[in-house]
Homo-oligomer: A and B are copies of this chain.
């Protein structure tokens, strides 16, 4: 759980085994700050020559999520994007519908209002999903970026 603890030890604490497959998935996710999905990770590992299976990638992602090392991000595409939680604190996302760019934002005011609303309705808040969709105005760059990504 401690983020800088050896991955091997993190697994051992739970009686789980350390395998090169789990290490490879974790290394691949850590290596990059884009919000890739499970299949992106799978393809990267295959291309790097690892004989790993898709099922193992999905299973390992769930292990990483349950250990708080990775967060799944559902932006309504029908697949989960991934985000490692190494150096980041909680944040929500701004998503450009034109180019797909994802920008993180934090708003303590909104967080406070969320708590207020929850308790006003007798709810014990556990988590939230907050996404702002729009178009980023830096158009030339926006389209350039789009052309680089699907």
Contact = CB atoms under 8 A, between A and B. Distances in A.
Interface of A: 74, 76, 94, 96-97, 103, 105, 107, 109-110, 113-114, 117-118, 121-138
A117 B132 CA distance: 9
Contacts of A135: 123-124, 126
Q: Assembly of this chain: how many copies?
A: 2
Contacts of A105: 117, 121
B126 A134 contact: yes
Given A132-B128, A133-B126, A133-B128, A121 B109 contact: no
A128 to B, nearest CB: 5
A67 to B, nearest CB: 20
